Chain A
C-alpha cells in the first residue's frame, strides 16, 4: 500500500469532521471526550451566553444606579405651597434670597408654570391642568456635592422665612430606587455564581466520565512512564480548548443580543436595563467571560484528574 493510499481516510474530511476539528479536536494524547466533546462545547457556550448577559446587566445596572446617585444627590427641590400669610411672589423671593445666601448651593432656578404643568401631565393628562388648580411653586436647587449645605438647617431656615416652604431632598425616592437597582445588580452577580458553579459541576462530571471511559489509555500512559501531572496536563489542554471555544461562541451570541437590544431602542426597554443595549465601554469586560470559562475548565479538569487518578490507582 502506498503512502497516499494510507493517508486517504485522513485527508477526506466531511463537514461534520471539519466542524469537529474546529470545535472539539485538540491533538491531545488523551482522546477527545468523543461524543461528549461537541455537546460540552455547546453547554459551555450556553453557560457563557447567560454569564455574558448577566455580567452585561450587572454592569448596566451599576452604571444606571451610579448615574442616579450622582444626579439625585446633587439636587434638591424647594416646594412652596400657597399661604394666607404671604403672596406667592413674596414667598418665592424670600426663598430665593435665603437659597442664594446659603453656602454650598450652586444654583436655584424657579420652575415656570409651564414646567410644573409638564411635570403633572403624565398623571393628569394633557390639557387637564386648569388655571384654577392650586399648584405649589417649585425651585430646582443644585447643590455642591463636595461641600453640600446642611439640609436640616436649610429646612428650618426655610420654614421660618417662607410660610409653607418645604425642602424635598428626594431621599425616600432615591433610597427606594437604589435598593431596587442594587438588588437587581446583586441578582445578576448571583446568577454569575450559579452559572460558574454549574460549569464546574458539568466539567467535573465530564472529566470523570472521560477518565473512566479511557481507563485503558490512562493505564498505558502510566505503564510507559507518564506522571499524573502529564496526564492532567493533556486532559486540561483538551478542556482549555473546549472551554475557550464554548466561551467564545457564547460571547459572540451575547454581543449579538446586546447589539440587537441596542438596535431595538425603546422597544427593548427592560427592568432597569437601559434601552440602548450595552454601553460600548463595557464590551471589553465581556471578553473576561470566555477567558474565565477556559480558566474554570482547566482548573476543574486538573483538580478532578489528579484526585481521580490518585483514587483509581
Chain B
C-alpha cells in the first residue's frame, strides 16, 4: 500500500535528514515509528502525508508514484490518509464539532449525512460536552483527542499519528490505543510515531526505528 525505496530528504541545501529509507506498509498493518527527538520521525510522516517531497528515491502510495501525481490528484490520495499532527493543528475559528467534521465537509458531504456520526465520535473521545467550544478553550488533552477524532472521522485507509498520546493520562492513552487497534481491525493501516515505550509494548506491533535519518525495522 505504501512503499518507500531508497528515499532521501533534505530541507533546502541542508544535510539529509532521511537517508536511504526503504520499507513497505501492507494494507491493514499496524506499526510504530520510534526514535530519539530530531531523528527524522516527523520528516518521514510529512513525506507520507505529502506535505513534503523527497529529494531522491521512490515513494508509492496506494499504487501511485507520488512524483508523477498532478496537483489536482493530491486531494484524492490525501482523503485516504488521516493525520494526527503533533501540534494538533485544529482551526481556532471553528468549534470542536466543526473541526472534527472538516474532512467530511471538504469531501462535499451534507451535514445531515454525518452529524450523528461526528457527535457519536465526539462522545466516544470524551468531548461530547465540548462540541461547541473552540480549540483555544480546550485543554492539551482535549485538543489531542479532537485531533485524533478529526483524523479518524472519515475512516481513512491509512492513519498517521505523531505522538498521539503525548498529552493524555495513561488511562486515556490506553483508550486511544484501543481506538487505533479497533480501527486497525476494521482495515485501516496505522503508523504511530511515539516515545511511549509502554504503548509499543502493550500493542506488540512491529517497530520502524529511525536514528540519524536511517531506518531499521524490528518485527
Contacts and interface: CB of A to CB of B under 8 A. Distances in A.
Q: Do A and B come from one complex?
A: yes
A153 interface: no
A313 B132 CA distance: 32
A223 B87 CA distance: 14
Nearest to A227: B75
A222 B103 CA distance: 10
B106 A225 contact: yes
B109 to A, nearest CB: 12
A10 B108 CA distance: 27
Interface stretch (A1-9, A94-102, A269-277): A1-9
Contacts, number: 62
B106 A3 contact: no
Contacts of A224: 78-79, 102-103, 106, 150
B129 A225 contact: no
A6 B78 contact: no
Given A29-B105, A31-B93, A220-B91, A225 B75 contact: yes
Interface residues of B, number: 29
Given A2-B129, A7-B132, A225-B75, A220 B94 contact: no
A89 interface: no
B108 to A, nearest CB: 8
Contact of B49 (A1, A29, A223, A227): A223
A281 interface: no
Contact of B132 (A10, A219, A220): A10
A154 interface: no
Contacts of B105: 29
B49, B98, B132, B150 pick with most chain A CB within 10 angstroms? B132
A221 interface: yes
Contacts of A2: 129
B83 interface: yes
A260 interface: no
A84 interface: no
A216 interface: yes
A216 B89 contact: yes
A90 B83 CA distance: 106
B88 to A, nearest CB: 10
A224 B101 CA distance: 11
A226 B78 CA distance: 9
A219 B105 CA distance: 16
The binding surface of chain A is classed by DSSP as helix
Interface residues of A, number: 24
A8 to B, nearest CB: 10
Interface string A139-174: 000000000000000000000000000000000000
Contacts of A32: 93
A32 B50 CA distance: 28
A217 interface: yes
A225 B79 contact: yes
Nearest to B102: A224
Contacts of B102: 29, 220-221, 224
B160 to A, nearest CB: 10
A68 interface: no
A33 B218 CA distance: 49
Interface in A184-217: 216-217
B129 A3 contact: yes
A29 B111 CA distance: 13
B106 A221 contact: yes
Contacts of A3: 129
Interface in B69-97: 71-72, 74-76, 78-79, 83, 89, 91, 93-94
A1, A224, A230 pick with most chain B CB within 10 angstroms? A224
A217, A219, A220, A223 pick with most chain B CB within 10 angstroms? A223
A142 to B, nearest CB: 68
Interface in A1-41: 1-3, 6-7, 9-10, 29, 31-32
The 7 closest A-B CB pairs, nearest first, are: A225-B79, A226-B106, A31-B93, A225-B78, A224-B103, A225-B75, A227-B75
30 contacts: A2-B129, A6-B130, A6-B132, A6-B133, A6-B137, A7-B132, A9-B137, A29-B94, A29-B98, A29-B102, A29-B105, A32-B93, A216-B89, A221-B106, A222-B74, A223-B50, A223-B51, A223-B83, A224-B78, A224-B79, A224-B102, A224-B103, A224-B106, A225-B75, A225-B76, A226-B106, A227-B72, A227-B106, A230-B108, A313-B71
Interface of A: 1-3, 6-7, 9-10, 29, 31-32, 216-217, 219-227, 230, 310, 313
Given A221-B102, A224-B79, A225-B103, 8 more contacts: A3-B129, A6-B129, A9-B137, A29-B106, A220-B91, A223-B78, A224-B102, A226-B75
